[in-house]
Structure 1
Amino acid sequence: MLNWLKKLFTRPTQAAPDDPEFWKVYLQSINNQPANSTPLHEAVFVVFDTETTGLDTKTNKVLSIGAVKVQGQQVLVHDSFECLVQQEVEQGNKSPEVHGILPSQVQLGLTEQEALKAFLTFAGNAILVGHHVKFDTDMLNGMLRRSGIQGKLYNRSIDTAQLAQRLERFRQSPDSFSRSDYSLDALSQKYNLPTEARHTAPGDAFTTAILLLKLMALAKKRGIRTVGELVR
């Protein structure tokens, strides 16, 4: 209840005069987010993923961002986003063993501020969706801070791991739940999701988008029809 009230009364701050133009445009758009009464089939979702130098949101950085839009119970594969982000990767960093992004590749990417501009222009006021989405939004908020922007992502968001748990509680005992059952790999197996490009930002975003469609179909069976009923 407290988290819900906090979100209800949290409003985007006004842009500072010296903030970049893309941030001012973003703040204007975010004041027109989907209403609670918006039917789910009308809402626009941006499903996204980041690949990073590690799992510490305070010290690690984003190497790539991948995203795709979902609307009307369809993944809009023609409306997708992908970028590499320039970073200094410390020698001995083990993250390339997971995502395969080499230090030489990220040097060809966008600066953090350029990547933020591109992503926020793509996402606008859409509902952000991710698997363990707080990690990804925290990583992007770190990029905002380093770019000198006093703000954060204000989009409404959905965590597909939490949504899967919530929807499946209708048919399972709480005692039967295990966190490992709700990893993206476990849910991919359960819902027969594509995993060909696993551990790449665009690939994981696409897999999560298909998962979102599966969960929205389950939500419909539970009588969930609007944004306000789905997004908590």
Structure 2
Amino acid sequence: MELTDRPLAFIDVETTGLDPTRHEVIDLAVVFGVEVLRRTGAPWTRHLRRDEPDIAVWHTRIRPERIRDAEPKALEVNGYTHDAWADAPTAEQVVDTVVELLAGSKAVLVGHNVTFDRDFIAALVRRQGRVARLGYNTVDTVTLCYEHLVPCGLEALSLDNVRRFLNIPTHGSHAALKDAIDAREVYRRLTRSTVLDRALWRLRASRRK
């Protein structure tokens, strides 16, 4: 498949810690083209933008198997509770869909600090005895922000800081579904940005100081 024909998959994970060899994915979202999701048979919902009817999302929580290894701070940030995750599927139950979505589709993975998400998804797949053939071609929105927004006054590159800079609501952040959708929105705005956009970003930044 030619690189130009490969779909973009905007991904985000929430985890029980920072180490993919010890910690687990407990929340996973993918923003994708509808046709790709239809081929997998995965349950999906339309994306929120009415002007983009061909975009959809796939999202699942994943019940952790080694919660005793979790970092308390990580669980505090992502809002994990035993009751909220009690009916979530296990990694074993979702791994086939994850592999089909991200490896079978030969997608280019896109995210905010996308290496973190990719490494955790690869670890999830390997723990289930599968080969993690995730593509090495990725797009990191952190890099895009460094190129487009830092010169305009952005002072920190976390997704929450970027959201505030671009006037994207932060409510509900640190949940995979919102963060994947917002990573796509950041990508969309920055890759389509104009000289006028940059002038407005500089003006906003100067007013915040």
Superposition TM-score, scaled by structure 1 size: 0.65
Name the SS of the counterpart of 1:106 in structure 2: coil
Q: Paired residue for 1:165?
A: 146
Deviations along 1:15-40, one digit per CA (max 9) or x if unpaired, are xxxxxxxxxxxxxxxxx2533xx6xx
* TM-aligned CA distance change 1:110 to 1:216, over 3 Å: same
Rounded Cα–Cα distance in structure 2 between residues aligned with 1:120 and 1:98: 27
| 1:13-162 equivalent positions in 2, closer than 5 A | 32-35=1-4, 44-69=7-32, 79-88=56-65, 89-90=67-68, 93-94=71-72, 95-123=74-102, 124-154=105-135, 156-162=137-143
Q: CA deviation at 1:133?
A: 0.5
* Sequence identity (%): 23
Q: Distance in 1 between matches of 2:139 and 2:85?
A: 28
Separation (CA, whole Å) in 1 of partners of 2:91 and 2:171 = 28
- Measured in 2, the distance between the counterparts of 1:214 and 1:76 equals 18
Determine the structure 1 residue equivalent to 2:162. 187
Q: Is the 8 A contact 2:111 2:117 kept in 1?
A: yes
Distance 1:81 1:75 in 2: 16
Moved more, 117-126 or 73-82: 73-82
How many residues are treated as equivalent by the alignment? 177
2:27 maps to a residue whose letter is: S
Find the aligned partners of 1:129 and 1:152 in 2 and give their Cα distance.
16
Q: Which residue of 2 aligns with 1:3?
A: none
Q: TM-score, normalised by structure 2?
A: 0.71
Gaps of 5+ in 2: 35-48, 197-209
CA RMSD of aligned residues (A): 3.1
- Segments of structure 1 that go 5 or more residues without pairing to the other structure are 1-31, 222-232
Cα deviation, 1:151-170, whole Å, max 9, x if unaligned, reads: 3412521110112113457x
Q: Which moved more, 1:136-145 or 1:122-131?
A: 122-131
Q: Which moved more, 1:54-63 or 1:152-161?
A: 152-161
Change over 3 Å in CA distance of 1:33–1:105 after alignment to 2: farther
